[in-house]
Amino acid sequence: MSDFIQLLPDHVANQIAAGEVVQRPASVIKELLENSIDAGAEHIQVVIKDAGKTLIQVVDDGKGMSLTDARMSFERHATSKIKSAEDLFSLKTKGFRGEALASIAAIAHVELKTKPEDEEVGTCIKIEGSSISSQEPCVTPKGTSLCVKNLFYNIPARRNFLKSDNVETRHIIDEFQRVALAHPHINFALHHNGSELFQLNATNYRQRITNIFGGKTNEKLVPVNEDTEIVKISGFVGKPEFAKRSRGEQFFFVNDRFIKSPYLNHAVVAAFEGLLKEKTYPSYFLYLQVDPKSIDINIHPTKTEIKFDDEHALYAMLRSAIKHSLGQFNVAPVLDFDRDSELDTPYAYKNKGAEIPKVEVDRDFNPFKNETGGSNYRPGNSFKKESTAGWESLYAGTTAEIESAAAGGHMEFESEEVTGSLFDTSEEKPENTTFQLHKKFIVSTLKSGILVIDQNRAHSRILYEELLKNITISAAVSQQLLFPLKLQFNAHEVEMLKQIRESLEQTGFVFSEINKDAVEITGIPTLISESEVEMLLEQLLSDLENDVPDNGFSQTDLLAKSLAKSMSVKTGTVLSGSEQQHIVNRLFACKEPGLTPFNKSIFITLTVDELEKKFT
């Protein structure tokens, strides 16, 4: 019997490991940035082309590597961070497994240039698919420069699974922001296809957040600080009125490492209970410092999940710290909702006693006595009794008119109807054939039974086809704003708005100015109100970032879908009879009335036979 089990070749093992470590270009960015931070870099520059598919370059001014270290760094499980298994529970560095560079080199063309500060020349190593093609001395500044070209060139199946450039760029920016937020004392720069997306100078945590997410973010932040024996909590949460419809601005950092934790996220949401609008999410940037021995960060290949020793205590502390901050800065309402602050005692009168007012009363005053006699008369008395003589003259002439009317004469009265009717009431009102059920469904009658329509889905189908038509033939109507609307966005979101500006203008938007971090709007579609514009654009950008197709028609289709979803009448909205009938009529005038833009059913029918079966 022959043997079946054999050792895998190194290049195959590296490719398998790369499947865990390198899932997309953003994974490469994360690993290389963490290596630069571990090397003590003060300036880190990232350059990418075609969303990292063609080129990823990370340049830092860290301590660099010698020739031997440069060669060893590409071997599997070669690391300077740990020497024994016990070191895994006292980690203070980013990387520690020694898999990153070996995995990257197995699926790309890699060029490494590095030089320590105390050496005159550096080392240049070129690797293609785990095999070293060249190694030679080179002139390079102190630090390390690592270029990753043609990612997944030898695994075409993995390359085909990558999303569009906009989606991959969004993932790269997410990883870049996470690292930059955790290390505000380091200078970061990000360039994509020759244009600068971020230039972040060394600063504090609050300013770093403002530099990444826009200048208006500063006024939205509430500081959180709590120091206990188990954990030290610092950072910021967003005010409830600025909550967003997406989870984009939610960051947890444990010992300067970004993590994802649904459990801790629930603690934050619980602290905002009663303060958030429906389907909105709070922003938070929270930094937790714990004992490295109390956590395990080696439970996931991407190291974004952490196991805590005492999660319940951490949950309670985080929730109470955020509630305390919201109350301390008057973000959370007081318990007495009817309290009038104008009735509060001024601070200067806090310890002052009450003064009894002096009241003088004339006990001999009698208003029924004549003003010339009696004890109530005083020279300064202002009371004067009016004379009632001649009161009969007020009704002079009316007696004759009453007697004349009683004798059969005609008396005219003022008409009760002051104005005429605004509507012609001569015609009979049409019978209402629809009614609303639970503020969600529109019920109408059919010859064969009844029709039940989901009002939100029906309106989204109507708007979708209307928006597609407007974008195609540029026939949208815009309402001009009395005052221009200024909205704040980060650099990447502004770039996306520039790409879809023409399509948005065909739906009714009018942009007067688009700057690096702000957009000025002077006109909006007639179907939306001014208060909905910011939330609608945020949802649109989120949809585009997550699933942007490559061709123009598909992008137009996604734009129409996103706008229709945001602008459609929501469940819980009360509709009048005419509005219900309008939706029914417009729905069955659509090309595809049975399905939403996302292929969900819009209505159901119940025939008389089906109803009769229910009673059997």
The 3-state DSSP class for residue 380 equals: coil
Residue with tokens 């004392």: 185
- Calculate mean pLDDT across residues 80-96: 61
Strand pairing category for 250-254 and 284-289 = parallel
Instruction: Using the predicted structure, report yes or no on whether residue 552 has a pLDDT greater than 70.
Output: no
**Contact (CB, 8 A) for 150 and 57:** no
Say what the pLDDT of residue 549 is: 46
- Taking each helix axis from N to C end, the angle separating 262-271 and 311-328, rounded to the nearest 10 degrees, works out to 30
What pTM does this model have? 0.68
- Calculate mean pLDDT across residues 91-115: 80
Q: Which residues pair with 559 in a beta bridge?
A: none
**Contact (CB, 8 A) for 98 and 17:** no
**Contact (CB, 8 A) for 596 and 564:** no
Least confident of 292-296, 321-325, 586-590: 292-296
Residues 6+ apart with CB under 8 A from 343: none
Least confident of 260-269, 312-321, 378-387: 378-387
Residue 172 φ/ψ, nearest 5 degrees: -65, -45
* Burial degree of 392 (CB within 10 A; 0-12, 13-18, 19+): exposed
CA distance 138 to 113: 8
Say what the pLDDT of residue 413 is: 55
Say what the pLDDT of residue 92 is: 63
Say what the pLDDT of residue 266 is: 92
CA distance 57 to 32: 9
Instruction: Using the predicted structure, report yes or no on whether residue 225 has a pLDDT greater than 80.
Output: yes
Instruction: Using the predicted structure, report yes or no on whether residue 379 has a pLDDT greater than 90.
Output: no
- Taking each helix axis from N to C end, the angle separating 533-546 and 165-182, rounded to the nearest 10 degrees, works out to 110
Say what the pLDDT of residue 376 is: 46
Residues 127-137 have pLDDT tens digits of 988 788 889 99
Instruction: Using the predicted structure, report yes or no on whether residue 350 has a pLDDT greater than 90.
Output: no
Least confident of 78-82, 269-273, 379-383: 379-383
Say what the pLDDT of residue 384 is: 53
Q: How many residues does the chain have?
A: 616
DSSP for 540-580 reads: HHHHHHHS--SSHHHHHHHHHHHHHHHHSPPTT----HHHH
Task: Return the CATH fold of 436-605.
Answer: Ribosomal Protein S8; Chain: A, domain 1 (3.30.1370)
Residue 520 φ/ψ, nearest 5 degrees: -110, 125
Instruction: Using the predicted structure, report yes or no on whether residue 524 has a pLDDT greater than 80.
Output: yes
Q: Choose from 67-71, 361-365, 548-552 the range with maximum mean pLDDT.
A: 67-71
- Give domain 10-200's CATH number out of 3.50.50.60, 3.40.190.10, 3.30.565.10, 3.40.430.10: 3.30.565.10
Least confident of 346-355, 372-381, 507-516, 530-539: 372-381
**Contact (CB, 8 A) for 186 and 58:** no
Q: Dig out the tokens for 460 from the structure.
A: 């989204």
Say what the pLDDT of residue 195 is: 86
Torsion of CA 458, 461, 463, 464, to 10 degrees: 170
The 3-state DSSP class for residue 82 equals: coil
Summary mean pLDDT of the chain = 80
Instruction: Using the predicted structure, report yes or no on whether residue 164 has a pLDDT greater than 90.
Output: no
Instruction: Using the predicted structure, report yes or no on whether residue 82 has a pLDDT greater than 50.
Output: yes
CA distance 588 to 593: 6
Number of alpha helices (DSSP H) and beta strands (DSSP E) in the chain: 17, 22
Q: Looking at 17-174, which runs of residues are DSSP E strands?
A: 43-49, 55-60, 109-115, 122-128, 131-138, 143-149
Q: Which residues pair with 196 in a beta bridge?
A: 191
Instruction: Using the predicted structure, report yes or no on whether residue 551 has a pLDDT greater than 70.
Output: no
- For the domain spanning 208-328, the CATH number is 3.30.230.10
CA distance 161 to 150: 15
Position with higher pLDDT, 226 vs 370: 226
Residue spans per domain, the chain: 10-200, 208-328, 436-605
- Calculate mean pLDDT across residues 160-171: 85
**Contact (CB, 8 A) for 358 and 366:** no
Q: Dig out the tokens for 27 from the structure.
A: 């994974």
**Contact (CB, 8 A) for 118 and 136:** no
- Calculate mean pLDDT across residues 345-374: 72
CA distance 146 to 194: 18
Position with higher pLDDT, 87 vs 614: 614
Residues 309-344 have pLDDT tens digits of 888 899 999 999 999 998 887 666 555 555 555 666
Say what the pLDDT of residue 489 is: 81
Instruction: Using the predicted structure, report yes or no on whether residue 255 has a pLDDT greater than 80.
Output: yes
Instruction: Using the predicted structure, report yes or no on whether residue 550 has a pLDDT greater than 60.
Output: no
**Contact (CB, 8 A) for 177 and 136:** no
CA distance 308 to 78: 27
Instruction: Using the predicted structure, report yes or no on whether residue 348 has a pLDDT greater than 80.
Output: no
Strand pairing category for 518-525 and 510-514 = antiparallel
C-alpha separations of 260 from 90, 286, 315, 558 in Å: 20, 12, 14, 29
